[in-house]
Chains A and B, each alone.
Chain A
Amino acid sequence: MRKLNADVVVVGGGSTGTGVVRDAAMRGYRAILVERADLAQGTSGRFHGLLHSGGRYVVADPLSAAECAAENAVISRIQPAAVERTGGLFIVGPGDDPDFGDVFLAGAKAAQVPAEEISPGAALRLEPRLDPKLRRAFQVLDGTVDGWQLVWSAAASARLWGGQILTYTEIVEIIRGSEGVRGVRAVDRKTGEAIEIECGFLINCAGPWAGRVATLAGVRPVEVVPGRGVMVAMAHRLVNRVVNRCAKPADGDILVPVHTVCVIGTTDVKVADPDNLAIPRAEVRQMLEAGEALIPGFQQARALHAWAGARPLVKDDRVDDSDTRHMSRGMAVIDHAARDGVAGLVTVGGGKLTTYRLMAQHAVDAMENQTGRRHPCRTADEICPGQTPGRNYLVSCRLQEREADRLDDQIICECELVSRRALLGLWDEFPQASLDDLRRQSRLGMGPCQGGFCSARAAGLACATGKADGAQATGLLRDFLANRWLGLAPVLYGDQVRQTALDYWIFQGALDVDHLPAAPNRPAEPPAAEDQGSPPTRRQASLACSAGPAVAGEGVSL
């Protein structure tokens, strides 16, 4: 058993937890973050990718709107490489109420969310694929954000300030003394080793799992209602700005350009288990129909991949719990000393990725309220490490990099322009990585062919550079293909069926990967990637893949 100690333990390595460990470390606390999978494998890697301008909330939730507007500017500044400043539009379509535009503008003004009306013609010049019958359009400062890049750069900052981060480590017990929380017990999920961390404070940032973690502390139940949302990535950027429907928020009314694709979302269905998120075909279809209302012909466009995430909404007694969209999206910070008489414990829930830094600030403030010590929050002042001030992400960044090295390097993934050197660099940094881990870092296999060409190359490279032996490399390849499929099967229609047939011809027809030893239909040795430290059980394997764009759980229904 390993023993550690810290001033504060943070549970959950999503945006919230990473923000908290960074904030606490910057305030001088010895802080340890404990995450049961990899960073941003929960909701923060399975969201929609929108860095809110606040526009979406100006009518229903002006406070959230104002917070978003302020945080949008902060995040764009301190984590520029995670953010693309695309700008956004709110569109009153032919079937929408044009008067809502006035309500929208008034709300934006009151919440101090910059918004400006432009003519339909001007909107069509900016985004020619929009429905030409649109009635009104408003420009806002929406951006797009890569959740993984955001979380990793916050984590890098936390480490710089002395914060420790334990991934693939699950909290299984919260130790309480008469004074309150004294420590936690955790298990290293790769090695099985038990870990005990002595600490004076625990901040629960377990997102949709926060209710379960609170239960470990033995406090009165914290009700978290996971609201499942399905999103679909479409090949190419059908739009270059975030396009919102200017109406009362509903399902599938936002189209977000992220990297090389654009993402339509989302649905919102209350579910019982955040570990088991289905992607029903009916919901995919609903998204495509909603996309049609923004972009005529949307249903004929090519879908690449679908995934689902669970909104970590903390239940608010004022609304009916069947409607999770209208529950408080604002953040909830629960001080368990005040609520339950258990000192040393705070639970943070709700909120948005956009406002993660502010949530973290409130959470650490709540801790200091309990402990009586006070330090200023400095997370908005300092740029995260590895970032160039003012250099936001551009979709053309990769092209520029490849232009520079195209004569002396190989491109392993053509769809996403991942070079051999870039991939090997990541592999050196994360020697235990599965191809899915590398995918999240590099976008390997996330383009139109969904790994059809790059995954065998990557497995071959692992073997060629001694990162894996034959069995392990085969395991990496097989796991990657199976995991990509979870998000492909629900969107199998149109051109993606052709792509899938081609990919099957390659892997089964030409390479016969299905008959390499250790195939699932011939139970022999367990897949090699598992000894390599990628997740050891099937459920965990699906977890690993699920940081998306991908899907959660085994329960893919079609």
Chain B
Amino acid sequence: MATALVIGAGLAGLAAAIRLAQAGWQTTLASKGLGGLPLSAGTVDVLGYAPALLGDPTGRVARPFETAAALAAHDPSHPYAAIGADRAEAAVGWLRDLLPELLTGDLKTNITLPTAVGALRPTCLVQPAMAAGDLAQNRSLAIVGPSQLKDFSPELCAANLARQTWQGRPLLATAYRIDLPARPDEADSPALAYARSLDQTAYQRRFAEAVKRRLKDEEAVGLPAVLGLRDRQAWLEVQESVGRPVFEIPLPPPSVPGLRLNDALTAAAQTAGVRLVLGSSVIGFAAAGRRLKSVTLRQAGRDQAWAADAFVYAPGGFESGALSLDAAGRLEERVFQLPLRGAGGSRLGGQETAADLGRLINADYWAEQRLFAAGVAVDQAMRPLDEGEAVFDNLHIAGGLLAGAVRWSEKSGEGIAVGSAAAAADAITGRR
């Protein structure tokens, strides 16, 4: 049987590994740690904003894959150009169908959800527990949070919602507090403690009762995203007791919906037959010409050469340490020293001068920080390119390492990760 090694346990690595295993490849996933999923909102963002393309000042995207196709045509160095918007759409659809209990959305249109500070964030797929937050459905909202949870201020969330309109109509939002710690007598209860308590039926009722007592005549109830970690029905129990639609609002990390997605994907990988080797860093490789023969895995201080027929490298970007910029201005990809490109395909890597860094790092915090568009340019098989030639024939890149997009600005992280993972896996297995 043909063997594949996937490096990285983020969304990209997990998705690629599952797809490879499903196609009958003997697949191992090696990663030094968890990926960004447990820290992320737990939604699947494909493309939320494209101000340069859409002309209107907010650049809010309504139809994510349609706009991704236009973006790819407008900027051939954008990851969606190599991936292809239709392949990305198929891949995101595949992910939704893989996790039907956890992801919902029609793929055609973005859903707009309130964030914890009351912004209106567009995303493509959401978790069922979040769906009633869709502003297209409900406009009169109660925002409720426990006083013991410092990462959610219903007052800030509601006040900002109430300052905005949605499709020409004002939003109504009222903040309420409940006084209910996650564990008895706690003043500072973290989100995860709430989620674990909300895995229990008795606590679900207490929580729902406390919420219900506060409400007036609002259409729907926004709650911090803590409605159960293991119990996927917890939010439904709460909703039933509250007696009207409830929805989760994602919080800063660690994020309960992000953990749910991570757990579900990890379980799906195991079901598909992926062998997971966590706690192992790739620190080197051996190649013959354009053929990558093995990578060196360091595990518990022991180094081991790991051979495979094909490799998917999905190590993330700067946030996971796969890309680094050192004190002397050296910008590099850490394992393979792959050639790097920036926004618009500009050449990067090696020693950046102070002037280069001045262009990459803007002194205005709110301006686009082009440093974070740095990464690896690829062909349609997701193979890393050097001057238009693949560096290795059997090494494929997926996820945060791809060059050409500042994902948090455009809200495109998961779409690029899943799309490139599928493109990489399909190039390996020959699936079309």
Contacts and interface: CB of A to CB of B under 8 A. Distances in A.
Given A463-B155, A463-B156, A510-B115, A408 B187 contact: yes
A556 B358 CA distance: 10
A447 to B, nearest CB: 16
Contacts of A516: 117-119, 160
Interface in A377-422: 406-412, 420
A509 B325 contact: no
A32 interface: no
A533 interface: no
Interface string A464-501: 10000111011001100110111001001110011011
Given A492-B361, A493-B325, A502-B39, A470 B408 contact: no
A185 B71 CA distance: 58
A162 B162 CA distance: 47
A110 interface: no
Contacts of A494: 324-327
Given A456-B117, A513-B117, 19 more contacts: A288-B327, A299-B326, A406-B188, A410-B187, A410-B188, A459-B153, A464-B154, A464-B156, A470-B156, A474-B117, A485-B365, A493-B327, A498-B318, A501-B372, A509-B45, A509-B408, A510-B252, A512-B119, A520-B366
Q: Lowest 10 A-B CB distances belong to which pairs?
A: A460-B153, A470-B159, A485-B365, A512-B119, A501-B319, A508-B408, A463-B156, A509-B408, A512-B121, A410-B188
Contact of A515 (B120, B185, B252): B120
A504 interface: yes
Interface string B318-348: 1111001111110000000000000000000
A464 B328 contact: no
A493 B58 contact: no
Nearest to A479: B365
A464 B413 CA distance: 32
B152 A281 contact: no
Query: Looking at chain B, what size class is its interface with the partner chain?
Result: 35 or more
B371 interface: yes
Given A464-B156, A501-B319, A511-B117, A493 B40 contact: no
B399 to A, nearest CB: 14
Given A515-B121, A516-B118, A558 B358 contact: yes
A280 interface: yes
A212 interface: no
B163 interface: yes
Contacts of A474: 117, 156, 160
B1 interface: no
Contact of B358 (A502, A506, A557): A557
9 contacts: A285-B328, A456-B151, A473-B156, A494-B324, A502-B319, A510-B115, A514-B366, A515-B58, A520-B366
B150 interface: yes
A463 B153 contact: yes
A517 interface: yes
Interface string B365-377: 1100101100000
Interface string B32-62: 0000100111000100010100000110100
A558 B188 CA distance: 40
B117 A477 contact: yes
A178 interface: no
Contact of B40 (A280, A460, A489, A509): A509
A520 B255 CA distance: 28
Interface of B: 36, 39-41, 45, 49, 51, 57-58, 60, 115-121, 148, 150-156, 158-160, 162-164, 177, 185, 187-188, 250-253, 255, 317-321, 324-329, 354, 357-358, 361-366, 369, 371-372, 407-409, 411, 413
Given A456-B117, A474-B160, A504 B372 contact: yes
A250 interface: no
Contacts of A500: 318, 369
A554 B364 CA distance: 9
A209 B373 CA distance: 42
A300 B411 CA distance: 32
B116 A511 contact: yes
A378 to B, nearest CB: 45
Given A497-B318, A515-B121, A556-B363, A509 B411 contact: yes
Contacts of A281: 329, 354, 357-358
B187 A407 contact: yes
Nearest to B411: A509
B268 to A, nearest CB: 23
B119 A515 contact: yes
Given A457-B150, A457-B151, A494-B325, A501 B317 contact: yes
Contacts of A484: 365
Interface of A: 280-282, 285, 288, 299-300, 303, 406-412, 420, 453, 456-457, 459-464, 469-471, 473-474, 477-478, 481-482, 484-486, 489, 492-494, 497-498, 500-502, 504-506, 508-517, 519-522, 554, 556-558
Interface of A is mostly: helix
Nearest to B323: A497
A515 B49 contact: yes
A469 B159 contact: yes
B120 A280 contact: no
B124 to A, nearest CB: 14
Contact of B318 (A481, A501, A519): A501
A338 B408 CA distance: 63
Nearest to B413: A509
Nearest to B321: A498
Contact of B160 (A300, A470, A504, A510): A470
Which of A299, A406, A502, A554 has the most chain B CB atoms inside 10 A of its CB?
A502
Contacts of A511: 115-117, 119, 252
A497 B324 contact: yes
B408 A420 contact: no
A510 B41 contact: yes
A508 B407 CA distance: 9
B363 to A, nearest CB: 4
Given A299-B328, A493-B329, A494-B324, A460 B156 contact: yes
A557 to B, nearest CB: 7
Contacts of B163: 470-471, 517
A187 B364 CA distance: 30
B120 A504 contact: no
Nearest to B250: A510
A249 B15 CA distance: 58
Contact of A509 (B58, B188, B407): B407
Contacts of B153: 457, 459-461, 463-464
Contact of A521 (B57, B119, B324): B57
Contacts of A522: 57-58
A477 B365 CA distance: 12
A192 to B, nearest CB: 27
A558 B327 contact: no
Nearest to B369: A504
A483 to B, nearest CB: 8
Contact of B253 (A506, A513, A554): A506
A498 B319 contact: yes
A558 to B, nearest CB: 4
Contacts of B150: 410-412, 420, 457, 460-461
A502 B253 CA distance: 9
Nearest to A405: B187
B194 to A, nearest CB: 14
B319 A505 contact: yes
Contacts of B363: 485-486, 489, 554, 556-558
Contacts of B164: 517
B358 to A, nearest CB: 4
B34 to A, nearest CB: 13
Given A461-B153, A489-B361, A409 B187 contact: yes
A465 B84 CA distance: 49
A421 to B, nearest CB: 10
A510 B185 contact: no
Contacts of A456: 116-117, 151, 252
